[in-house]
């Protein structure tokens, strides 16, 4: 096979790798281990476009390089196969989501395999496989059967809590979530409780618990949505209205781990931006919880959490979230209609929209007043949608002089603005600083910030009006979705009480139903299941788990995917421990990445995993942007004018499918056949008879018709060319514009590489001659550069270095085994198909390049044989002369004195001294 035909070579080696399980990893090896993982994809119907493989190519390069370095590498792939898109398609078509998902996965596997990724496909997992989600359900049962002991600072089985209750009742129990209402009781009272009463008592302690929670309810989709899935009050998918609704929901107590999730960020090698996103999302703050008694309401007070208790004398009103539990009780008859209208309007806005809108001022007075617990002054109680029921206590003490949002609210509704610091300038805006001494502040007049804070907290605690407290922005994670296509929650209900399904009943498999939308009475789709009951009589939970459930622990299942007795075998987990390199998008910072860390910490508390964190190093790959093409339609016509002449007409730019465009030249006939409306289009062309499109870089998207299918490029240029080109585009972490035109250059480089072995595309012409110093220098420069760059994940510079190497060896007419064989190993992580073919041609066992050894870099081959020195007289350079690189300063001086240099340039003067700067220059002083 003299000429380079990537299509033939690549299919051949992909089949070989598949048949021989070439990349199978062992769960025990004397080699050091290395675990490389991609964030596994959701298999959408559209398949992959050229932007998707960027991270996969990078991880595969590292994987193959680490194998060459002697590591036992785990590099698996699977599918996050539960999800809303498949369910929506099922609602529209009646086709079971499992069938759609199976078809999509088959497309993904075909595309991923065509790119030559060295995955251990024997370890593939799918979150929608009952044999997988059996263990997701099992982990949920562990969460349900656990509580968080603040004394030991870890999760413990619920049995340890019931033992405490049996011995001493609720006295002295310190558990995460103590802010929730939990009854006090003695040991004797606990003994008297029925089973049902005990279950109800334990529920608020559990790490998986059920309570009424405000959620984003989307009637159009029939499900609860996360904040990320709501934009401007509408669902991101489908654009349906979303409202805030109080519903019973399963929650996971991630807040118990807030401090540990923060601390762990200091010990993992992640991008600082991602760590900062998690820190902000967790939002640890130190402050005080203060009780404001409500006037004319005996034993009713409003709890407020504040980080600025020092400003309490500046409180001129309280603001409650519209969903606050006391709103109905506090609202006076005169204000009831206005309050009801305001609450209805708030329900149509997502939490994210409410938090982000800092310009609009809205609110409504409840008609009720509270009392400042320190000054005793009356404080009007208002509602405003910028306060959220799920953050803090759902109430804010408003200090207009110190907070700009409160300031604007007070100005809008003509409420008092009280100066509380001397020198405070509040005539134009709030002053949030802590500088100066307090005024108009009773107990703390004349004090500075720190002294004032300490004195006020002491006063509040002494009088039972408040306490110092650490708070978090992080909320417990809502764990239920009113959908069909997700993991059933393994809970059944007896007399209205939630009970865990016995482990022997797992997996609780999704039942068959006739339609995939909610029932006519508003129940989730699982409400349509016929005779779906535990033991034939107890109702199952009808909500399913959220999409992130299965993805929170999948990295562990890869370690031991065939284990039927355990979610991961102990030996396998202790061998692989954690992911050494994780590649994926930064958009998962406060979702999947945070939840995975939470689940891992919980499993570690139970002694089920050994590593402190799931992912030691994280790299976020940038996005490949699309290169859109435009045609220009003359307004009011069906005529299109080429881009260079569009200024002559009034035109509208329309996206053209980039697959009809080559080097910005439109295939006019393909465009006319694309859509019926363009069938009779006319074209005003360039002078050379072509239609040239306009160009713009945008996000790659089907709606912009700029999606490039990798299958097309692989067919035309080969997978190795596509792999190299995606790396060549720029640094991995940066956003990069796609330009299909550039791939031909990389394709040409691979052909040039081939011709080092097959000159003029002829027979193999590799010789066993000894390599020259120049050839060895070129090789060892490449060995060092490739190794350094891969270790730094600088893949684009490696491609450049390999191109330079091939150019130099081509110029040297090098066809020597001593140089070319190591070069094949160097390029194999990037162009594995080409490397396997040449490796076999060089006489090695077929498919064995993965077990080759990375070439050893030898410094001596980079040493120069001679050094060129500038020769100067009194600092003025006169000529240059070569000396052996090993020559000493004395030898160089002697050589200069013995030469005719001084006779020619010394103007007849004697040399006073000769100064030699080794490797730099020689200066003769006369």
Residue positions forming the annotated binding site: 702
User: What is the SS3 assignment for 154?
Assistant: strand
Q: Are strands 921-925 and 913-917 parallel, antiparallel or unpaired?
A: antiparallel
CA 522 remoteness from chain centre: 34
* 302 φ, ψ (degrees, to nearest 5): -110, 120
- Identify the CA nearest to 550 among candidates 608, 488, 604, 500: 488
- Please compute, for residue 67, the number of CA atoms within 13 A of its CA located in the half-sphere on the CB side: 26
Identify the helix (H) or strand (E) that includes residue 611. none
User: What is the SS3 assignment for 43?
Assistant: coil
Task: Report the C-alpha gap between 456 and 631 in whole angstroms.
Answer: 69
Q: Which residue has the tokens 């064995």?
A: 848
Supply the DSSP string of 652-696, one letter for each residue: EEEEE-GGGEETTEE-HHHHHHH-GGGTT-EEE--TTS--BPEEE
Q: Residues 650-684, buried b or exposed e (16+ Cβ, 10 A)?
A: ebeeebbbbbbbeebbbbbeebbebeeebeebebe
- 713's CB contacts (< 8 A; 6+ apart) are 50, 721, 722, 740, 743
Alpha-carbon distance values, 805 to 3, 389, 820, 841 (Å):
21, 63, 11, 21
CA 220 remoteness from chain centre: 28
| Residue 469: exposure state from Cβ atoms within 10 A (0-12, 13-18, ≥19) | middle
Task: Report the C-alpha gap between 528 and 514 in whole angstroms.
Answer: 7
Task: Tell me the two tokens of residue 556.
Answer: 């562990």
Identify the helix (H) or strand (E) that includes residue 304. strand 301-306
- Identify the CA nearest to 317 among candidates 431, 401, 244: 401
Q: Can you give the three-state secondary structure of 358-421, one letter per residue?
A: CCCCCCEEEEEEEECCCCCCEEEEEECCCCCCCCCCCEEEECCCCCHHHHHHHHHHCCCCCCCE
- Identify the CA nearest to 424 among candidates 411, 439, 445, 409: 439
Q: Residues 555-571, buried b or exposed e (16+ Cβ, 10 A)?
A: bbbbbbbeeeeebbeee
* 390 φ, ψ (degrees, to nearest 5): -85, -5
Partners of 534 in the β-ladder = 538
Residue 889 DSSP code:
H
Alpha-carbon distance values, 646 to 278, 296, 358, 682, 837 (Å):
49, 74, 43, 14, 50
Q: Can you give the three-state secondary structure of 431-483, one letter per residue?
A: CCCCCCCECCCHHHCCCCHHHHHHHHHHHHHHCCCEEEEEEECCCCEECCECC
Asked if 103 contacts 39 with a C-beta cutoff of 8 angstroms, the reply is no
Q: Per the annotation, where are the binding residues for ATP?
A: 702
| Residue 768: exposure state from Cβ atoms within 10 A (0-12, 13-18, ≥19) | exposed
Q: How far apart are the first and last CA of the chain?
A: 69
Task: Tell me the two tokens of residue 402.
Answer: 């110190």
Q: What is the dihedral of CA 53, 59, 63, 68, to 10 degrees?
A: 90
Task: Report the C-alpha gap between 532 and 407 in whole angstroms.
Answer: 56
Task: Tell me the two tokens of residue 53.
Answer: 């493989």
């Amino acid at each position: 096979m003299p000429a380079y035909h990537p299509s033939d070579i690549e299919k051949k080696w992909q089949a070989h790798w598949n048949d021989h399980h070439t990349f199978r990893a062992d769960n025990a090896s004397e080699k050091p281990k290395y675990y490389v993982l991609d964030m596994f994809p959701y298999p959408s119907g559209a398949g992959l476009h050229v932007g998707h493989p960027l991270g996969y190519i990078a991880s595969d390069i590292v994987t193959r390089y680490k194998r060459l370095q002697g590591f036992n590498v785990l590099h698996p792939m699977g599918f996050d196969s539960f999800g809303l898109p498949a369910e929506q398609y099922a609602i529209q078509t009646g086709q079971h989501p499992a069938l759609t998902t199976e078809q999509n996965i088959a497309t993904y596997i075909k595309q991923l395999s065509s790119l030559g990724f060295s995955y251990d496909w024997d370890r593939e997992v799918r979150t929608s496989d009952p044999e997988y989600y059996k263990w997701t359900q099992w982990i949920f049962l562990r969460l349900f059967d656990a509580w968080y002991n603040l004394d030991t600072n870890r999760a413990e089985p619920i049995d340890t809590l019931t033992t405490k209750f049996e011995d001493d009742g609720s006295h002295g129990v310190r558990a995460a979530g103590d802010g929730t209402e939990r009854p006090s009781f003695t040991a004797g009272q606990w003994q008297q409780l029925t089973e049902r009463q005990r279950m109800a008592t334990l529920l608020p302690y559990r790490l998986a618990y059920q309570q009424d929670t405000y959620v984003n309810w989307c009637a159009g989709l029939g499900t609860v949505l996360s904040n990320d899935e709501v934009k401007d009050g509408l669902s991101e998918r489908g654009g349906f209205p979303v409202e805030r609704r109080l519903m019973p929901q399963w929650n996971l107590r991630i807040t118990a781990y807030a401090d540990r999730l923060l601390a762990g960020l200091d010990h993992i090698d992640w991008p600082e931006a991602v760590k900062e996103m998690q820190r902000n999302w967790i939002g640890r703050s130190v402050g005080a919880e203060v009780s404001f008694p409500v006037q004319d309401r005996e034993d009713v007070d409003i709890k407020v959490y504040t980080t600025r208790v020092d400003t309490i004398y500046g409180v001129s009103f309280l603001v409650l979230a519209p969903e606050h539990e006391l709103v109905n009780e506090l609202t006076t008859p005169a204000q009831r209609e206005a309050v009801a209208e305001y609450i209805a309007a708030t329900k149509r806005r997502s939490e994210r929209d409410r938090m982000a809108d800092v310009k609009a001022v809205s609110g409504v007075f409840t008609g009720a007043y509270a009392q400042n617990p320190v000054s005793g002054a009356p404080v009007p109680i208002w509602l405003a949608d910028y306060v959220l029921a799920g953050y803090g206590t759902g109430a804010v003490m408003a200090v207009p002089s110190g907070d700009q949002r409160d300031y604007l609210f007070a100005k809008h509704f003509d409420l008092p603005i009280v100066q509380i610091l001397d020198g405070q300038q509040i005539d134009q805006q709030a002053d949030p600083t802590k500088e100066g001494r307090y005024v108009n502040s009773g107990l703390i007049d004349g004090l500075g910030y720190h002294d004032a804070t300490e004195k006020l907290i002491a006063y509040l605690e002494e009088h039972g009006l408040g306490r110092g407290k650490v708070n978090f922005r992080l909320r417990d994670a809502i764990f239920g979705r009113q959908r069909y296509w997700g993991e059933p929650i393994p809970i059944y209900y007896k007399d209205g009480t939630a009970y865990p399904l016995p482990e022997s009943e797992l997996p609780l498999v999704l039942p068959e139903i006739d339609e995939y939308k909610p029932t006519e009475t508003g129940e989730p789709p699982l409400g349509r299941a016929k005779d779906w009951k535990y033991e034939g009589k107890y109702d199952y939970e009808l909500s399913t788990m959220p999409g992130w459930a299965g993805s929170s622990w999948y990295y562990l299942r890869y370690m031991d995917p065939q284990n039927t007795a355990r979610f991961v075998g102990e030996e396998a987990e202790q061998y692989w421990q954690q992911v050494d390199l994780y590649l994926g998008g930064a958009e998962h910072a406060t979702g999947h990445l945070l939840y995975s860390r939470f689940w891992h910490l919980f499993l570690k508390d139970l002694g089920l995993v050994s590593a402190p964190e799931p992912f030691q190093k994280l790299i976020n790959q940038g996005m490949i942007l699309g290169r859109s093409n435009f045609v220009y339609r003359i307004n009011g016509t069906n005529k299109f004018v080429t881009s260079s002449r569009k200024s002559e007409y009034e035109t509208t730019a329309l996206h053209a499918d980039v697959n009809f465009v080559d080097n910005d030249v439109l295939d006019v006939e393909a465009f006319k056949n694309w859509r019926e409306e363009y069938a009779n289009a006319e074209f005003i062309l360039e002078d050379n008879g072509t239609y040239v499109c306009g160009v713009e870089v945008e996000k790659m998207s089907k709606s912009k018709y700029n999606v490039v299918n990798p299958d097309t490029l692989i067919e035309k240029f080969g997978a190795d060319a596509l792999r190299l080109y995606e790396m060549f585009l720029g640094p991995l972490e940066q956003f990069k514009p796609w330009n299909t035109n550039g791939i031909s250059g990389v394709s040409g480089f691979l052909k040039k590489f081939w011709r080092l072995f097959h000159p003029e595309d002829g027979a193999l012409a590799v010789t066993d001659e000894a390599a020259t110093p120049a050839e060895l220098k070129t090789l060892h420069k490449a060995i060092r550069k490739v190794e350094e760059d891969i270790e730094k994940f600088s893949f684009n510079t490696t491609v450049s270095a390999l191109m330079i190497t091939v150019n130099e060896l081509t110029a040297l007419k090098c066809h020597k085994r001593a140089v070319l064989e190591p070069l094949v190993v160097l390029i194999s992580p990037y162009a594995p198909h080409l490397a396997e073919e040449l490796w076999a041609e060089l006489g090695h066992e077929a498919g064995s390049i993965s077990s080759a050894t990375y070439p050893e870099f030898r410094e001596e081959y980079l040493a120069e044989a001679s050094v060129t020195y500038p020769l100067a007289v009194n600092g003025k350079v006169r000529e240059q002369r070569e000396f052996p690189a090993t020559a000493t300063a004395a030898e160089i001086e002697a050589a200069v004195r013995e030469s005719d240099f001084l006779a020619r340039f010394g103007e007849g003067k004697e040399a006073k001294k000769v100064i030699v700067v080794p490797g730099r220059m020689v200066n003769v002083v006369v």
